[in-house]
């Protein structure tokens, strides 16, 4: 009997090994400590611009294999609490970028080096090769640490803002510019804004700050979680959808 049970156990071990070998690693597997935002709060709208062609580069960036917001679990849970706050006032968050692979950051920098004129939609006051020196594109990005997010707010029935510079999501409220408008108007406290824009920026900053997110003063849409879990690391795994 011992020999028989041993043979059966060995057979099951072999079959299990064959099954495991026949199943490739899942594309949705993430490093420890990271989650997909949709698994934490699917009510937050996602408009992932770097996984599309509708961004300042005009094509999908390296490392973006799917349109998904990936964040550290700590940042995603904090963002879900922000969503609960803004929803109580009739708004919803919309995210444009979350975790960003280092290869995508390098892709942006390479693109700027090819040079070109100012672009009225994305960078109306500087040439492409000036974007790094002007501070609009960084050679390193906090996004690669996984606790930084670019986002705005939407409100159903608002009609949506139509910014002259940058990208907007359907029903996005007025912020004075769209996402990734590389211009002084994107500074969070810019003094001359359309009606309601300053109030919406302030509302977003307050809601995010209440859950530990710190705004980058040159971009109203850019926030990093204070006390982030990987402050000294940058990651390069690809962004994949489930």
Write out pLDDT tens, residues 130-147: 999 999 999 999 999 999
Q: Look at the domain 32-225 and name its fold.
A: Muramoyl-pentapeptide Carboxypeptidase; domain 2 (3.30.1380)
- 179 pairs with which residues across the strands? 167
109's CB contacts (< 8 A; 6+ apart) are: 132, 137, 139
The dihedral sign for the CA sequence 34, 141, 177, 124: negative
Question: What pLDDT sits at residue 57?
Answer: 98
pLDDT band with cut points at 50, 70 and 90 for residue 46? very high
Tokens, residue 173: 């409220």
Question: What pLDDT sits at residue 17?
Answer: 42
Where in the chain are the domains? 32-225
Q: Is residue 5's pLDDT more than 70?
A: no
Write out pLDDT tens, residues 12-45: 443 344 333 333 334 458 999 999 999 999 999 9
Q: Cα–Cα distance between 194 and 211 in angstroms, integer?
A: 27
**Portion of the chain with pLDDT greater than 70, in percent:** 88
Tokens, residue 198: 């300053």
Write out pLDDT tens, residues 49-98: 999 999 999 999 999 999 999 999 999 999 999 999 999 999 999 999 99
Question: What pLDDT sits at residue 161?
Answer: 74
Instruction: Find the mean pLDDT for residues 154-181.
Output: 91
The dihedral sign for the CA sequence 56, 137, 238, 79: negative
DSSP letter, residue 30:
-
Question: What pLDDT sits at residue 28?
Answer: 55
Q: Which residues are catalytic?
A: 219
38's CB contacts (< 8 A; 6+ apart) are: 44, 46, 68, 69, 242
Question: What pLDDT sits at residue 12?
Answer: 43
State the average pLDDT for the chain: 90
């Amino acid at each position: 009997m011992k020999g028989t049970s041993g043979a059966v156990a060995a057979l099951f071990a072999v079959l299990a090994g064959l099954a495991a070998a026949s199943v490739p690693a899942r594309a949705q597997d993430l490093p420890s400590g990271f989650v997909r935002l949709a698994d934490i709060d699917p009510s937050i709208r996602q408009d992932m611009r770097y996984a599309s062609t509708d961004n300042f580069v005009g094509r999908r960036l390296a490392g973006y294999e799917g349109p998904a917001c990936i964040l550290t679990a700590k940042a995603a849970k904090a963002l879900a609490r922000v969503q609960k706050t803004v929803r109580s006032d009739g708004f919803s968050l919309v995210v444009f970028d979350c975790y960003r692979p280092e290869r995508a950051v390098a892709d942006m920098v390479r693109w700027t080096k090819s040079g070109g004129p100012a672009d009225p939609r994305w960078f109306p006051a500087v040439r492409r090769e000036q974007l790094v020196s002007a501070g609009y594109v960084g050679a390193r990005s906090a996004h690669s640490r996984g606790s930084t997010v670019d986002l705005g707010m939407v409100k159903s029935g608002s009609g949506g803002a139509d910014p002259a510079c940058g990208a907007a999501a359907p029903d996005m409220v007025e912020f004075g510019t769209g996402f990734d408008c590389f211009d002084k108007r994107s500074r969070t406290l810019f003094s001359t804004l359309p009606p309601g824009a300053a109030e919406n920026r302030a509302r977003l900053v307050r809601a995010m700050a209440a859950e530990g997110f710190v705004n980058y003063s040159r971009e109203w849409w850019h926030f990093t979680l204070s006390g982030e879990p990987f402050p000294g690391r940058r990651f390069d795994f690809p962004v994949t959808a489930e």
